[in-house]
Amino acid sequence: MDNTKAVKHHHEPLVHIVKRDDMPSWKAWLIRIATIVISIFLMGCLSTMLTEKSLFETFEMMFRGVFGRIESGSTVMLWKYLQEIAILLCLALALTPAFKMKFWNCGAEGQALMGGLAAMMCMINLGQTLSYPVLLAVVIITSILAGAVWGLIPAIFKALFNTNETLFTLMMNYIATQIIAYYVYIVGGGSNIIQPVAEGNLPVIGNNRYLINIIIVAVICIFMYIYLKYSKHGYEISVVGESQNTARYIGINVKKVIIRTMVISGALCGVAGMLLVAGTDHSINTNTVGGQGFTAIMVSWLGQFNPFIMVLMTGVICFLRLGASKVADTCMLNASFADIVVGVVILCVVGCEFFIRYSVKFRHSKKEVKE
């Protein structure tokens, strides 16, 4: 009632949101970093209240969960941290070209699973017949192809029939999960588990089981930066993302760009699946990607489609996840505590992003009264 009266008098809503362009980038970055630091600090406070440990102890636990006893020269936990970053980053990098084109690929989970499935099938069925180098090449190529095909299907429908790619890719995830479940049933038989396969694994460099994954993702990261920033393809992607009409006007074949970009996106997801199956687990189940395909969406967004900022974002998210799960395990909290911490921090960052891009203006008269 009051509202309608107010509107009658002033013809202006109580609050309105204005896009702001004047924020200098150093200031925006300062706000982002401060948000992350403050939200981590708040989550630290939350866990101290739940666990009756002091803030210092909480952060020490988090540090231990991520880096282990690094001061005594034990780097095994550090490598595990880098491995977590590598897998999440690989998925986020895969999504980025599609996102930049404003093609909302929510199917990283399924595309990675299909890549992993292809790798697994080669390892099981060809493991005994092919020599190692040939087998490895086949594993890599088929998993890339499988991921690419899983990305290609929604792209074709989008390009030709303009179907909704968000729903399409999401549904493709369910299909992939069910295919994996069926495959595990066929191969695993009564036990419902595929025992790890020793053939066709990625090579282990210097007794470090994660180094190969980390190197591969580092290479992809640099490649993606150059591809998006300096290549003609990268330019076409950003034009199609800004405006399809503009793209058409300057002679870009939009359909071709959509399909090509989604093939790359799917192929890189396939690589992530291959890293998980041939490089890490040597087995597969419906939980192999474990929802990271969805976390990767946030990483790509928060990294503003810049591969190097995405490295930092994955670093923060993996730190929180590993650290908070250590706190949860040590203090016998529920394991979901880690998800809560990551969720709250991401929410804070998304919130701060809103205030960086828009400013909230209150009605003038109200403001005058306040002051």
Partner 1 sequence: MKKLLAILLALVMVLSFAACTKTPGTEDESTDADANNSASTELKDVKVGFIFLHDENSTYDKNFIDAAKAACTEMGVEYAQKTQIPESNDCYDAAVELIEVDGCNVIFADSFGHESFLIDAAKKYPDVQFCHATGTQAHTAGLANFHNAFASIYEGRYLAGVAAGLKLNEMIADGKITADKAKMGYVGAFTFAEVISGYTSFYLGAKSVCPSVTMDVKFTGSWYNEQLEKEAAQALINGGCVLISQHADSMGAPTACETAGVPNVSYNGSTVAACPNTFIVSSRINWTPYFKYMIECVQKGEAIATDWTGTIETGSVVLTEVNEAAAAEGTAAKLEEVKGKLLDGTLEVFDASTFTVGGNAVTSYLADVDTDANYEKDTEVIENGVFHESKFRSAPYFDMEIDGITLLDRNYG
Write out the residues near partner 1 by the rule CB under 8 A: 38, 41-42, 45, 48-49, 52-55, 57-58, 64-65, 68-69, 74, 76-77, 80, 181, 184-185, 188-193, 195-196, 280-283, 285, 287-288, 290, 325-326, 328-330, 332, 334-336
Place of tokens 């895969």: 94
Amino acid type, 1: M
Dist. CA 32–CA 352, nearest whole Å? 7
Structure token digits, residue 15: 């609050």
Residue with tokens 């038989």: 189
**Distance in angstroms (rounded) separating the CA atoms of residues 74 and 79:** 10
Shortest distance in whole angstroms from residue 68 CB to partner 1 = 5
Q: Which is nearer to partner 1, 47 or 111 (CB)?
A: 47
Residue nearer to partner 1 on the CB measure, 96 or 292: 292
CA distance 120 to 187: 11
Query: In this complex, which beta carbon is closest to partner 1, that of residue 210 or of residue 301?
Result: 210
Q: How far is the CB of 280 from partner 1 (least distance, A)?
A: 5
Minimum distance, C-beta of residue 71 to partner 1, in the bound complex (Å): 12
**Phi, psi angle pair for 156, to nearest 5°:** -65, -45
Least separation in angstroms between CB 249 and partner 1: 44
Task: Give me the phi and psi of 288, to 5 degrees please.
Answer: -60, -40
Nearer to partner 1, 27 or 248 (CB): 27
- What's the min distance (Å) between Cβ of 281 and partner 1? 5
Q: Nearer Cβ to partner 1, position 306 or 315? A: 315
Instruction: Specify the residue, 53 or 260, whose C-beta has the smaller distance to partner 1.
Output: 53
Give the list of residues 6+ apart from residue 102 with CB closer than 8 angstroms, or none. 240, 241
Strand partners, 19: 358
Task: Indicate the residue among 189 and 351 with the shorter CB distance to partner 1.
Answer: 189
Provide Rg for the chain, Cα atoms.
24
User: Phi, psi at residue 345, to the nearest 5°?
Assistant: -65, -45
C-beta of 267: minimal distance to partner 1 in Å? Answer: 23
At its nearest, how many Å lie between partner 1 and the CB of residue 69? 6
Tokens of 14: 């109580």
Least distance in angstroms from the C-beta of 154 to partner 1: 27
Cβ contacts of 260 within 8 Å, gap of 6 or more: 233
Taking the CA atoms of residue 104, residue 108, residue 110 and residue 111 in that order, the dihedral angle to the nearest 10 degrees is: 100
Contact 262, 98 (CB under 8 A): yes
Cβ proximity to partner 1: between 78 and 218 the closer is 78
SS3 17: strand
Please, what is the minimum distance in Å from the beta carbon of residue 60 to partner 1?
A: 11
By beta-carbon proximity to partner 1, the closer residue of 80 and 233 is 80
Q: What 3-state DSSP class applies to 282? A: coil
Separation of alpha carbons 214 and 200, rounded Å: 18
